[in-house]
Amino acid sequence: MTSLEATNANSQWVLTLSCIDGPGIVHAISGAIVAAGGNIAESQQFASADTGRFFMRLQVEAVAQPDTFDARFASALAPVTERYHMTWRLDRAGRPVRTLLLASTATHCVNDLLYRQRGGQLSIEVPLVLSNHEAVRDIAEFYNVPFEHRAIAGKEDKAAFEARVLEVVEEQNIELVVLARYMQILSPELCEALAGKAINIHHSFLPGFKGANPYKQAHQRGVKLIGATAHFVTSDLDEGPIIEQDTVRVDHSYSVRELTLLGQDIESRALRNAVKWFAENRVLADGERTIIFR
């Protein structure tokens, strides 16, 4: 579990890293932290038997002189990250991640994310909601988030919409694109451009019921639980690395419409968790799988 509280003081940093597994890594990293005058507030690690890689997430507080901790820490880390050929990232804990929301006709995910963003439960800031429908306009406006509508009637519209996405990502320094029930398939080019920073919510328990109308498929198959899956977007539809999943019990009496309504709750929850963990640097990629340091 994680704490926004701990970051209130704005004197904590998050270090995430991965490298080939081997002895001495933790000692080297913790040595850099001691050298920089830091204290470990939170630490999680995982050695992947699948890829042979070591992953770590550290939350570090500056014991003294927080203003210059940044520089001290970076310089203490440099020889360590170099020696172990680490992929790493240092971020300030609690820094809001710049997030673009894409939406269509369903309102529940956008509503859930913006409600929680306002309440300080999600470490994101949302410069824009971009949608091919008007459905979430009033919600965005209520939460003081700019809303932009671009209808998609054909191929050209879709290309224009995607161009606009890339433009916003560029202009607004977007770090995370959330497909909050955005019901268009992204082009391979856009998937490529957003690799590792676009999260989609699919309304089924993947890999079951890929593609369109998953609740209709679920009804026909007569499943006894329905699910939702938040995953990174890749060009392989509904096949990207899974970040979070949830299920809820149903029975024979649920119509497709009732499954759809009930499913909204788990969709909102799964997506919200995925966004929260991403924004807190808790999601690391390990090949086709994700490591979630909760």
Task: Verify binding: residue 144, a second copy, rule CB under 8 A.
Answer: no
Which regions of 4-73 does DSSP assign to beta strands (E)? Answer: 12-20, 38-47, 53-62
Q: Which CB sits closer to a second copy, 146 or 207? A: 207
35-54 residues in contact with a second copy (CB under 8 A) are: 37-49
Tell me how far, at minimum, the Cβ of 27 lies from a second copy, in Å: 4
Residues 112 to 131: which contact a second copy by CB under 8 A? 115, 119, 121
Q: How many helices (H) and strands (E) does the chain have?
A: 8, 13
Task: Note whether 60 and 41 are within 8 A (CB).
Answer: yes
Q: Which stretch binds a second copy (CB under 8 A): 73-81, 152-160, 173-181, 214-222?
A: 214-222
Scanning 16-24, 88-96, 181-189, 195-203 for contacts with a second copy by CB under 8 A, the matching segment is: 16-24
Q: Is 244 in the site for a second copy (CB under 8 A)?
A: yes
Q: Are 225 and 248 in contact (CB under 8 A)?
A: yes
Number of chain residues interacting with a second copy (CB under 8 A): 73
Region 145-164 residues binding a second copy, contact defined as CB under 8 A: none
- Closest approach of a second copy to the CB of residue 161, in Å: 26
Residue 53's identity, in one-letter code, is: R
Site membership for a second copy, residue 94 (CB under 8 A)? no
Pick between residue 117 and residue 162 the one whose CB is nearest to a second copy. 117
Among 52, 95, 138, 197, binds a second copy (CB under 8 A): 138
Amino acid identity, position 101? L
By CB atoms closer than 10 A (0-12, 13-18, 19+), residue 71 is exposed
238: annotated active-site residue: yes
CA-to-CA distance for 130 and 71, rounded, in angstroms?
37
Match 């593609």 to its residue by tokens. 211
Phi–psi pair at 97, nearest 5 degrees: -90, 135
Tokens 């690395």, located at residue: 241
Strands 124-131 and 147-149 come out as parallel
* Interacting span for a second copy (CB under 8 A) from 91-99, 155-163, 166-174, 285-293: 285-293
Q: Considering only residues 248-267, where is the footprint of a second copy by CB under 8 A?
A: 250-255, 257-258, 261, 265
Among residues 18, 117, 245, 281, the one that binds a second copy under rule CB under 8 A:
245
* Cβ-Cβ contacts under 8 Å for 39 (sequence gap 6 or more): 33, 60, 61, 63
Which residues are known catalytic residues?
Answer: 238
